[in-house]
């Protein structure tokens, strides 16, 4: 432990602790624009400068470890003047149109300008305005708001290992851009949105579909159905000032109904269905021994990453569509048939914690119903905005259930939103499918939590099944490299089943979550999903009565021909240069 003082307050901190974090322990928050608790410090913005007695110059608190006997000052007149000047310089090259900015009231630059006492309103831009990149179906990039903090590059390169973004040019001309300046939509970007949730300002945001959804809601000729992903129920409350991870399933249904949706249904229903399809696929693969390990396919960011960097593994992928897309295919077929609605009049909207889902719903193969299966995807942030616009406050809503037909769900479905949840749900049902008996203790703790790669061995009536779970594409890359190596050397992998989620923490850490997220918040949201699982009367997907009715009345059985047509998909090889589909060779 190191002893030092921060503004005359004595502190002790483990060796290697940065002055920034040591100061926090002493009760002083040093302002910063580039530092983020989940990323390595880069020292780009220089806002966190401090003075250390006896050491000349100002030091960046994020990059300087606290040393024995240090006497640190965090807000002397010199420091405060320097910070103010740095913020003024940033603002002199910034489109300061806060009132129309997506980050208004949630912007770290706006807060900092207020903290350091900037009180001049009219900063005329010194540089030329740059074009806004709208080439991606998921994400908009506005370089005129970028403060060059580097967080997006760090998360894209170091956490996701995608490397879609880089710094280009120097000095005043410095910009963050994509390869050949071709735009995110023409790059290897996997649409995960991790850059969006780490950006401190309004330079990155989702491509909004709120106008289109309002139009559908106001059109009396349309029947607008909505589905909500498992993770949204532990995120939406944050949009209305509720504590992180508040579970608002019932309030969410009530607010969506009041917003004007004609049917409030559940992605959780098709999460249960996914388990029936994927669990059956797992049993088939375990029986035949072919294409093991089976790898999950719910996360569209992961799918594009796999198609780009690991397309050799396509035969190992589950062919089951994600719950979002299974819902889309059923809403315009089974649901329309049961309810007697013309499927051409159905507008299918999904509420997702994810920006990559916007990409997934527009994939050309996602039209098994004869229409685009899911018409619009809204992130948790977008539906929060729509609800506020309609004068709704989720906090004040009563608890209401979802509608019938595609609304019932079990605890197994709700945990899909946390890393390890799909694996745990699949094991609960695979056990029953193989043994005919129920797994007594349904909680598979080794696959829970935020460790990068988790492993477990499950005993299914004498058959040992080794499973692994990875969250974030960086961890998936490590795991897949190991699997490929094992297959190359030994002809098979030690694992039989692998779950991958593109985002750190799983969907509770998706690119569509509320602003200001970090790993601690993601963990809290995951715990809330496990709480909902424990509170539900049914906790195994194969117990969902509406799923059983769907098979009985419409699909016949898991992996039937009809189920394959509607609920399964295929994958492509993509170029590592521009992420585009490669022509079949
Ligand atoms: S990024 Fe922040 S400071 Fe800039 S316009 Fe948006 S809200 Fe205002
Ligand atoms: S969306 Fe994901 S892959 Fe694309 S630039 Fe952002 S972090 Fe990188
Ligand atoms: S886009 Fe956002 S995260 Fe990336 S460098 Fe600019 S301000 Fe930072």
SS3 per-residue string spanning 83-114: HHHHHHHHHCCCCCCHHHCCCCCCCHHHHHHH
425 CA to middle of ligand 3, Å? 37
Instruction: Say if ligand 2 is within 6 A of residue 189 CB.
Output: yes
Could you tell me where the DSSP H helices lie in 400-518?
411-414, 421-435, 473-490
Residue with tokens 């009760």: 27
Which CATH class for the 2-75 domain?
alpha beta
Atom of ligand 2 nearest to the CA of 163: 8
**Token pair for 50:** 């401090």
Residue with tokens 């093991």: 292
Q: Are 247 and 531 in contact (CB under 8 A)?
A: yes
Q: At what angle do helices 421-435 and 267-288 cross, to 10 degrees?
A: 60
Instruction: Say if ligand 2 is within 6 A of residue 267 CB.
Output: no
Angle at 510 between CA 507 and CA 511, to 5 degrees: 160
Which CATH class for the 211-567 domain?
alpha beta
Residue nearest to ligand 3 atom 3, measured at CA: 199
**Token pair for 302:** 């992961």
Q: How far apart are CA 543 and CA 10, in angstroms?
A: 58
Residue nearest to ligand 1 atom 3, measured at CA: 110
Atom of ligand 2 nearest to the CA of 193: 1
Instruction: Say if ligand 3 is within 6 A of residue 116 CB.
Output: no
Question: How much is the pLDDT for 155?
Answer: 97
Contacts of 89 (CB under 8 A, 6+ apart): none
156 CA to middle of ligand 2, Å? 5
Distances (CA, A) of 248 to 117, 186, 324, 409, 418: 38, 38, 20, 15, 16
68 CA to middle of ligand 1, Å? 39
Instruction: Say if ligand 1 is within 6 A of residue 96 CB.
Output: yes
Nearest to 132 by CA among 122, 118, 146: 146
Question: How much is the pLDDT for 389?
Answer: 97
Atom of ligand 2 nearest to the CA of 356: 1
* Structure-derived torsion over alpha carbons of residues 572, 574, 580, 581, reported in degrees to the nearest 10: -30
Atom of ligand 3 nearest to the CA of 34: 8
143 CA to middle of ligand 3, Å? 8
Instruction: Say if ligand 2 is within 6 A of residue 156 CB.
Output: yes
Residue with tokens 């693969």: 285
Q: Are 232 and 352 in contact (CB under 8 A)?
A: yes
391 CA to middle of ligand 2, Å? 33
Instruction: Say if ligand 3 is within 6 A of residue 387 CB.
Output: no
Instruction: Say if ligand 3 is within 6 A of residue 176 CB.
Output: yes
96 CA to middle of ligand 3, Å? 15
Question: How much is the pLDDT for 128?
Answer: 79
> Known catalytic residues?
278, 281, 298, 318, 357, 360, 365, 507
Collapsing DSSP to helix, strand or coil, 581 comes out as strand
Q: Where are the domains of the chain?
A: 2-75, 91-206, 211-567
Q: Which ligand number lies closest to the CA of residue 168? A: 3
Nearest to 98 by CA among 112, 79, 78: 112
Instruction: Say if ligand 1 is within 6 A of residue 114 CB.
Output: no
Fold of 91-206: Alpha-Beta Plaits (3.30.70)
Q: Which ligand number lies closest to the CA of residue 101? A: 1
Collapsing DSSP to helix, strand or coil, 500 comes out as strand
Question: How much is the pLDDT for 126?
Answer: 65
Q: What are phi and psi of 165, to 5 degrees?
A: -120, 150
**Token pair for 173:** 């001309």
pTM of this structure: 0.96
Mean pLDDT for each consecutive 10-residue tract of the chain (585 residues)?
95 95 94 94 93 96 96 96 93 90 96 87 69 98 96 97 94 89 96 98 98 98 98 98 97 98 98 96 93 97 98 96 98 98 98 98 97 98 98 98 96 96 94 90 93 93 92 98 97 97 97 94 97 97 97 96 97 95 76
Q: Are 213 and 390 in contact (CB under 8 A)?
A: no
| Ligand 2 pocket test, candidate residues 138, 154, 155, 164, most atoms within 8 A of CB | 164
Nearest to 69 by CA among 1, 4, 13, 20: 4
Instruction: Say if ligand 3 is within 6 A of residue 140 CB.
Output: no
269 CA to middle of ligand 2, Å? 29
């Amino acid at each position: 432990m190191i002893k030092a003082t921060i503004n005359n307050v004595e502190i002790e901190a483990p060796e290697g602790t940065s002055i920034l974090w040591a100061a926090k322990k002493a009760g002083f928050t040093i302002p910063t624009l580039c530092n983020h608790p989940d990323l390595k410090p880069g020292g780009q913005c220089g806002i966190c400068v401090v003075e250390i007695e006896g050491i000349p110059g100002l030091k960046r608190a994020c990059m300087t470890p606290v040393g024995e006997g240090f006497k640190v000052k965090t807000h002397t007149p010199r420091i405060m003047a320097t910070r103010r000047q740095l913020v003024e310089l940033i603002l002199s090259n910034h489109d300061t149109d806060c009132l129309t900015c997506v980050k208004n009231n949630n912007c770290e630059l706006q807060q900092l300008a207020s903290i350091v006492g900037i009180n001049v309103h009219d900063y005329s831009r010194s540089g030329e305005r740059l074009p806004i990149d709208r080439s991606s179906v998921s994400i908009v990039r506005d370089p005129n708001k970028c403060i060059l903090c580097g967080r997006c590059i760090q998360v894209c390169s170091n956490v996701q290992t995608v490397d879609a973004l880089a710094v280009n040019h120097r000095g005043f001309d410095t910009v963050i851009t994509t390869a050949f300046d071709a735009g995110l939509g023409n790059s290897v970007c996997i649409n995960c949105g991790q850059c969006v949730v780490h950006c401190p300002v309004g330079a990155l945001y989702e491509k909004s579909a709120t106008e289109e959804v309002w139009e559908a809601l106001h059109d009396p000729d349309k029947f607008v159905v909505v589905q909500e992903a498992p993770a949204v129920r532990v995120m939406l409350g944050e949009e209305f000032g509720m504590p992180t991870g508040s579970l608002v399933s019932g309030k969410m249904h009530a607010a969506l109904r009041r917003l004007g949706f004609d049917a409030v249904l559940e992605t959780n229903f098709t999460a249960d269905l996914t388990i029936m399809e994927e669990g059956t696929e797992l049993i088939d693969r375990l029986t035949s021994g072919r294409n093991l390990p089976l790898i999950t396919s719910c996360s569209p960011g992961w799918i594009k990453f796999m198609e780009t960097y690991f397309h050799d593994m396509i035969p190992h992928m589950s062919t089951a569509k994600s719950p979002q897309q299974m819902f889309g295919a059923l809403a315009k077929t089974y649901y329309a048939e049961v309810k007697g609605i013309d499927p051409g009049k159905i507008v299918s909207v999904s509420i997702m914690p994810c920006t990559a889902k916007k990409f997934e719903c527009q994939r050309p193969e996602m039209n098994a119903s004869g229409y685009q299966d899911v018409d619009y995807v809204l992130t948790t942030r977008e539906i929060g905005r729509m609800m506020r616009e309609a004068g709704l406050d989720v906090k004040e809503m009563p608890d209401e259930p979802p509608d019938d037909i595609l609304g019932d769900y079990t605890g197994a479905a709700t945990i899909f939103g946390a890393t390890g949840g799909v694996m745990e749900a699949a094991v609960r049902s695979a056990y029953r499918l193989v043994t005919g008996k129920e797994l007594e203790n349904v909680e598979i703790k080794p696959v829970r939590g935020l460790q990068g790669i988790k492993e477990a061995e499950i005993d299914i009536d004498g058959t040992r099944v080794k499973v692994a779970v990875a969250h974030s594409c960086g961890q998936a890359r490590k795991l897949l490299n190991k699997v490929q190596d094992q297959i190359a050397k030994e002809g098979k992998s030690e694992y039989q089943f692998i779950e991958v989620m593109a985002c750190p923490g799983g969907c509770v850490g998706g690119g569509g979550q509320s602003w200001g997220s970090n790993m601690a918040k993601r963990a809290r949201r995951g715990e809330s999903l496990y709480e909902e699982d424990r509170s539900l009367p049914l906790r195994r997907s194969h117990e969902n009565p509406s799923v059983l009715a769907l098979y009985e009345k419409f699909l016949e059985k898991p992996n039937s021909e009809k189920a394959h047509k509607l609920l399964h998909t295929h994958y492509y090889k993509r170029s590592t240069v521009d992420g585009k589909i490669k022509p079949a060779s």
